[in-house]
Amino acid sequence: MILNPKLETMSENSLRQLQLERLQAILNRVYYNVEYYKTKFDEIKFLPEHLKTLNDLKKLPFTTKEDLKAAYPYKMFAVPLRDIVQLHTSTGSTGKPLVVGYTRNDLKHWAELNARGLAAVGVTQDDMIQIAYHYGMTTGGLGFHLGANKLGASIIPASTGNSKKQIDIMIDYKTTVLACAPSYAVYLAELIENMNIDLKNLYLRIGIFGSEPWSEKMRETIENKLKIKAYDVYGLTEIIGPGVAFECPEKNGLHINEDYFLVELINPNTLQPAKEGEAGELVFTTLLKEGYPLIRYRTGDIAFLQKEKCRCGRIFAKISRIYGRSDDMIIVKGVKLFPSQIEKILFTEENLAPHYQIVIKREKNALDELEIKVEVLEEVFTDDVAGLTKLKDRLEKKLISELSLQCKVSLVEYNSIIRTDGKTKKVIDLREL
């Protein structure tokens, strides 16, 4: 179902006109309310009224994650704190997280965007939706919650974890829609299989999965094991959380909510627009955000952009699945992290050599496993076994606490991690998506 046909199926001309008006307004808002943007625009002598066409946006500089980090915690906010009604934070950056703020209008819009995505794949007020994204500082749980609430579906705010209980809930409360990370859906499906639960006891019909990369093969596995239809949904905290783009029943790309977000695709090396038909880095400009508006934000996410009209009737352009990242962010069990975060913790210890490798595995029937192999200095490795065990335990504790993720540390002999003359491969991802 198309939740908001007036907007989702408007003509190309009306959409571009609406985007232009909203862009002019948001440039004014950031120029006069966010010091960072005023400085950036002043450097190139750009005033908001200089924007006459959508193409003029290209004159403005990109905003990067580094810029947002430097603005910690509130310097990117475009309204006084008294107008902010909710805060969220992103995971995945080194040190302090990014803090994003929502005004009451932002929350209203966020609800609309997520409701569109849910309606698109057939969720209605007759559904019982189990939201097994984390409810907390990250955006998954509460983002879907707002959307499902707007739609009038019955919400089970299950949050993450406690998998057996999730399955009990699914059966007893007659869940019809499951929203969670795709790797968690595979895990739950395999657990259901291993527990010999007859699928007749389940009422599930739709799955809405995002927040990490997944593949057509994973879609097939989930659909076959749970006998549901599985859909992709994309978003990021900085832009709003879930609700940036969603799949429709055509299942060949995710519609960007283009009346809220202006999309560009760039070559991450040249920073020029990606060539027609080429993959590139997604760049978004928020068109209506009040609390935390961003202009030309480089997401780091690599995808294709499809502009042909979709058979579902929506006008909005589609992105392909996310193929990778232009930086080295990795996503393990839905938790986003950078090798530099791990490195920083390792180097708080004296007896380690500066050589490490991050290995990610996914055994069958299991969730992702994170192993950190790190070399110990030659003189330390041989003598003191008890000392090594203590070092390993200490490192594991620090890493688990910093990353909020279970992980195993393996202390290895000096010189056992292969050196190359160029960039050493720090991340070995053995998962097959």
User: CB-wise, 97 or 346, nearer to ligand DLL?
Assistant: 97
Measured distance CA(260)–CA(88) in Å, rounded: 19
Burial of 185 from C-beta contacts in 10 A (0-12 / 13-18 / 19+): buried
Q: Which stretch binds ligand DLL (CB under 6 A): 196-204, 209-217, 356-364, 390-398?
A: 209-217
Could you check whether the bond before residue 73 is cis, i.e. omega within 30 degrees of 0? yes
Q: Which stretch binds ligand DLL (CB under 6 A): 52-60, 124-132, 154-162, 226-234?
A: 226-234
Least distance CB 168 / ligand DLL (angstroms): 23
Q: Please tell me whether residue 207 binds ligand DLL under the rule CB under 6 A.
A: no
Distance of CA 367 to the CA centre of its chain: 18
Q: Which stretch binds ligand DLL (CB under 6 A): 73-81, 106-114, 133-141, 223-231?
A: 133-141
Q: Please tell me whether residue 175 binds ligand DLL under the rule CB under 6 A.
A: no
Q: Which residue is nearest to ligand DLL (CB)?
A: 210
* Cβ-contact 250, 310 below 8 angstroms: yes
Least distance CB 258 / ligand DLL (angstroms): 17
User: CB-wise, 129 or 236, nearer to ligand DLL?
Assistant: 236
User: CB-wise, 296 or 392, nearer to ligand DLL?
Assistant: 296
Q: Please tell me whether residue 381 binds ligand DLL under the rule CB under 6 A.
A: no
Binders of ligand DLL: how many residues, by CB under 6 A? 23
Q: Please tell me whether residue 101 binds ligand DLL under the rule CB under 6 A.
A: no
Q: Please tell me whether residue 232 binds ligand DLL under the rule CB under 6 A.
A: yes
Which residue is associated with the tokens 């009209």? 309
Least distance CB 256 / ligand DLL (angstroms): 12
User: CB-wise, 20 or 305, nearer to ligand DLL?
Assistant: 305
Distance of CA 355 to the CA centre of its chain: 29
Q: Which stretch binds ligand DLL (CB under 6 A): 33-41, 187-195, 230-238, 308-316?
A: 230-238
Q: Please tell me whether residue 97 binds ligand DLL under the rule CB under 6 A.
A: no
- DSSP-derived secondary structure letter, 433: -
Q: Which stretch binds ligand DLL (CB under 6 A): 4-12, 136-144, 371-379, 407-415?
A: 136-144
Q: Which residues of 142-174 are buried (b: 16+ CB within 10 A; e: fewer)?
A: bbbbbbbebbebbbbebbbeeeeebbebbeeee
Kindly tell me which residue out of 101, 117, 235, 280 binds ligand DLL, with binding defined by CB under 6 A.
235
User: CB-wise, 54 or 367, nearer to ligand DLL?
Assistant: 367
Q: Please tell me whether residue 242 binds ligand DLL under the rule CB under 6 A.
A: yes
Bridge partners (DSSP) listed for residue 324: 302
* Cβ-contact 39, 301 below 8 angstroms: no
How many CB atoms neighbour CB 275 within 10 A?
10
Joined tokens for residue 137: 């500082």
Q: Please tell me whether residue 257 binds ligand DLL under the rule CB under 6 A.
A: no
Residues 6+ apart with CB under 8 A from 185: 178, 207, 209, 222, 226, 230
| CA nearest neighbour of 265 among 251, 254, 250, 275 | 275
Of 280-309, which residues contact ligand DLL (CB under 6 A)? 299, 301
User: CB-wise, 183 or 356, nearer to ligand DLL?
Assistant: 183
Q: Which stretch binds ligand DLL (CB under 6 A): 57-65, 109-117, 137-145, 404-412?
A: 137-145
Measured distance CA(141)–CA(134) in Å, rounded: 5
Measured distance CA(58)–CA(55) in Å, rounded: 6
Q: Which amino acid is at 224?
A: N
- Could you please report the per-residue DSSP string of 93-151? SSSSPPEEEEEHHHHHHHHHHHHHHHHHTT--TT-EEEE-SPPSSSSHHHHHHHHHHHH
- The residues binding ligand DLL (CB under 6 A) are 90-91, 133, 138-140, 210-213, 232-237, 241-242, 299, 301, 322, 325, 336
